[in-house]
A and B are shown apart, each in its own frame.
Chain A
């Protein structure tokens, strides 16, 4: 919670140190509730779209439960036919979800204390929102000096809320289908930008560190305007990361001596 930052350092440290995994799990689940505003209506709409494409109320939760990445599901359903174009669906899915390669990479330094047999199944549940919430929680714990910085329980609490909500809402959408309108009418599509902007505030480390973000935003916006499809996410992310590589603190890199990794 943002209010935790305002608590005294010692007091907050005391609380976090003694939080049981179950309490951390609940904290993660609770932090995820505002994001459900954005997820529930879109799950319903996705289910309805899938039903229009001929997927049954059993196939829809199978798709959203096994894949569990909404952006790629919207994109794939746009291409769905009988029989479905397999290679095209796989390529588009990779394109839309390629950001998770970067997200997983960014999380990895904080996962070193966990065995692979726990990390690999846990990563199945990674979403934009649970990853962002979990990284914000990790940063908070770093500031408070809590070890380990990454709380698997918090991450799982958050992820499972989204998992249950997503499967449930998409299945419900497939059944209710045509009764639903467009979530845009109710402004619900603004929930995701709102969530991400608050996440960005948590990641803010001064204007100079934010230059790659600006480059990413500009490149993505221009690509979105000029090209159809989901290329804009990859273009923006690559442009931003390239900027980050070029503007990374060379002084500290030189100090570290041997260039590893």
Chain B
């Protein structure tokens, strides 16, 4: 069963999301960018990624901060899957031990 009010909310929400997905492309397509603009666009993704995960860096739980530190160290020397395993297992273990 699909409720019509829920369906409307879902369609409107999905439309907003799709606009954010194509907005950057629509605005910048067919424009040649200056090296300065390119340098800014190159820095932007890292800014977004760090902003998204910023809450972990200021967690109230010491266990999470230690797990994050271990994950950062792992990320600098390991590839994706081992780093994820270090992050997930250290967070689970430290939370269990330090709870």
Q: Which residues of A contact B (CB under 8 A)?
A: 1-3, 31, 33-35, 37-38, 55-56, 58-59, 62-63, 66-69, 71-72, 76, 80, 82-84, 86, 89-90, 93-94, 97-109, 111-112, 116, 119-120, 123-124, 126, 128, 131-132, 135, 184-201, 203, 205, 209-210, 212-213, 215-217, 219-221, 224-225, 232-237, 239-241, 243-245, 248-250, 252-253, 255-256, 259-261
Contacts and interface: CB of A to CB of B under 8 A. Distances in A.
25 contacts: A35-B80, A56-B3, A76-B13, A84-B8, A86-B9, A90-B12, A99-B51, A104-B21, A106-B41, A106-B42, A116-B29, A123-B18, A187-B91, A187-B95, A190-B91, A191-B84, A194-B86, A197-B83, A198-B79, A220-B54, A220-B55, A234-B51, A240-B44, A240-B46, A260-B33
A186 B48 contact: no
A56 B20 contact: no
A66 B14 contact: yes
A165 to B, nearest CB: 15
A44 B87 CA distance: 20
A167 to B, nearest CB: 13
A67 B15 CA distance: 8
Given A100-B20, A128-B49, 19 more contacts: A58-B1, A86-B9, A89-B13, A97-B20, A98-B20, A103-B45, A103-B48, A104-B23, A108-B24, A135-B45, A187-B87, A197-B53, A197-B71, A197-B72, A198-B79, A209-B43, A235-B51, A240-B43, A244-B47
A37 to B, nearest CB: 5
Question: Which 6 residue pairs of A and B lie closest in terms of their CB atoms, listed nearest first?
Answer: A236-B51, A240-B47, A104-B24, A187-B92, A105-B24, A187-B91
Contacts of A237: 44, 47-48, 51
Given A102-B24, A245-B40, A260-B34, A236 B47 contact: yes
Contacts of B56: 190, 193
Contacts of A108: 24-25, 28-29
